[in-house]
Structure 1
Amino acid sequence: MSLDAPEQTVVLRHPWLHDGAEMWRVARDSKRLDLNTPYAYMLWTRDFHATSLVAEVDGTVVGFVTGYWRPEEPTTLMVWQIAVDETQRGKGLAGRMLDEIVARTDAYSLETTIVADNPASNRLFASFAERHAAQHTVTDLFAEEHFPDEDEWQAELLHRITPLRREGLRRTTALA
């Protein structure tokens, strides 16, 4: 007799308006992300639908990745936030979401910002680069002095991972 819990099916799909509140909940409960307003997550589902994903288990959003195309570099996908519900952590879901959003968008490069003291995110993006046999560079982007004085902010480091594919530059924006 096995005491292991049955494997849950995770569905990765583009977000819809009704997912915005659940994305906000996952971000809030992560206690790690800068929390945006619920309105921002709903707007994200509308305006960046094709460059974002949610992970769903039994009809409940348990993770998400939000991204957008860099206007100055239209083959670079900028990952704004990635979060996984506590019930799904340690199962490789964040890596699966990154792999899937890059596959669906056919991004040539991926960028994100991470503070230095976030080892989980640093490992996530380093392992993503390794899986894709891509160069991973880290440079300063926003120093503490760039942020408002009201709160204590940490410097944001830019992680750039490229190239993610070798063939011609092609990008899809299908709403699948």
Structure 2
Amino acid sequence: MIYGNSVLYDADALRRSAARSSVVRLRAPHASDGAAIWSLIQAQSSLDDNSLYCNLLQATHFAGTCALAEQDDRIVGWVSGYIPPKQPDTLFIWQVCVDPAAQGQGLGRKLVADILSRPDCRHVTMLECTITEDNEASWALFSSIARRLGAQLQQVEHFSRDDHFAGQHDSEFAVRIGPFDPESFTRLTGR
């Protein structure tokens, strides 16, 4: 029971509000970020686990196509990606992770834009990823990216639960966005 003028707040809403009040900085990762990236991903039960070693390799070998968001000296967002060897016009996004306290700021989209604006991606006109059917957050993110880029989004089942994951993981749908004009990346950073 509540007496007087007490007000109840959603704790996550308070954390998100506090997170918005400090500056978020986007940058390429360094080897020293590997453990913090791994910890951020581990804290999100909906994401597939990668090894710490995998995140170290992403933060070093693929630093040009990965990005993180820092706020108050803490990593609150991460996007890993790479350019497939036989597709120099394509950026494949491997994983997107945003701390719940930093959600609602468009960080996933801004991190993708940060990567696309780098010299490593100067020839990129296509964006690809895979998404499970029930991952509403990823569908919303990549649909938003396609809309903002003015590009078509295509999807097709790519890795099936039975044929590729031995029934241990939901099917992944290949998502392809593009072609788009590299000059349109700036449309990804606005609200």
| Fold agreement, TM-score > 0.5 | yes
* Aligned: 1:155 with 2:174: no
Secondary structure of the corresponding residue to residue 31 of structure 1: coil
The number of residues matched between the two structures is 164
**Which position in structure 2 is the counterpart of 1:66?**
80
Give distance in 2, aligned partners of 1:18 and 1:128.
30
Task: Report sequence identity in percent.
Answer: 36
Separation in 2, partners of 1:156, 1:68: 18
Matches within 5 A, 1:82-101: 82-101=96-115
- For residue 166 of structure 1, report the CA deviation from its aligned partner: 6.3
Stretches of structure 2 lacking an aligned partner (at least 5 in a row):
1-13, 184-191
User: Any conservation in 2 of the 1:64–1:84 contact (CA below 8 Å)?
Assistant: yes
Q: Does residue 109 in structure 1 map to residue 146 in structure 2?
A: no
How far has the Cα of 1:146 moved from its partner? 2.8
> Structure 1 CA distance, aligned partners of 2:163 and 2:43?
27
Query: 1:97 and 1:14 mapped to 2: Cα distance?
Result: 10
Letter matched to residue 163 of structure 1: P
- TM-score, with length taken from structure 1: 0.87
Q: 40, 49, 52: which is aligned to 1:26?
A: 40
| Backbone CA RMSD of aligned residues | 1.8
> TM-score with structure 2 length normalisation?
0.80
Structure with greater strand percent: 1
* Large movers: runs of 4+ above 6 Å: none
Q: Which amino acid aligns with 2:125?
A: Y
Measure the CA separation in 1 of the matches of 2:100 and 2:37. 13
1:137 pairs with one of 132, 135, 154? 154
